[in-house]
A = this chain, B = another copy of it.
Amino acid sequence: MPPSTVDTRTRIMDEAQALILDRGYSATSVGAIVEQADLTKGAFFHHFDAKADLARALVERWAEHDLAHLDAALARSDRLARDPVQRLLVFVGLLEEAWEGLTEPYAGCLFVSYVAEAGLFDEGTHAVIRDTLLRWRTEVHGLLQAAADAGPPSVEVDLEATADLLVVAFEGSFVVSRALGEADLVARQIRQYRTYLEGLFGG
């Protein structure tokens, strides 16, 4: 296998992502990216047609990992619990677990970076983000509906909004966690969400 191609492209993407998470897309020049990756502009534009091409590749990779994470938690909670309510709570518990023990670098989210500079990206790039968030809505809503079918929640509640609250709690946590410099904030907020669900469906 040629040691170069894939490696270099990935390295560019990794360095670019780190820079974008820190200072945003627009402030991340391709000059800075290639310097960080110890390359030249020639190398960059060999692998990407334009800077926007990189942006698209990055968000697609991020969405892919994100959905893989979702599917994994879905599958595991499916295996670990039979009861719909338990399945729901285990699912959220697994997510919480994944964000525990986070200390040093406060979480960043590429979606937040892109949304904050939304005016710079084309429809296709936005669609990647939208589709990913909608997958979360659909899947979580499915879990909630199954739990509600097994036994109605303690109070009447908008199940779609409840599903969205998980994603909202994640994205909001990323923002607030960085703003306050508190790494454990994400996991604590997901735990809050779980407490909410326990109250609704009876833990």
Which residues of B have CB within 8 Å of A180? Answer: 130, 133-134
Task: Flag if B112 contacts A116 (CB, 8 Å).
Answer: yes
Beta-carbon contact of A168 and B169 below 8 Å: yes
* Contact, CB under 8 Å: B118 / A178: yes
Chain A 143-175 per-residue mask, 1 if CB under 8 angstroms from chain B, else 0: 000000000001101100110110111111101
Q: Are the CB atoms of A167 and B172 closer together than 8 Å?
A: yes
CB distance from A139 to the nearest CB of B (A): 15
Counting chain A residues whose Cβ lies within 8 A of the other chain, the interface size class is 35 or more
CB contact list, A97-150 vs B, under 8 A:
111-113, 115-120, 126, 129-130, 133-134
**Considering only CB atoms, which chain B residue lies closest to A109 in the complex?**
B175
**What is the distance, in angstroms, from A172's C-beta to the closest C-beta of chain B?**
3
Q: Does A188 contact B (CB under 8 A)?
A: yes
Q: A164's contact among B24, B155, B185, B199, by CB below 8 Å, is which?
A: B185
9 A-B residue pairs with Cβ-Cβ distance under 8 Å, sorted by A, are A23-B26, A26-B117, A155-B195, A155-B203, A165-B169, A165-B189, A165-B192, A172-B172, A196-B199
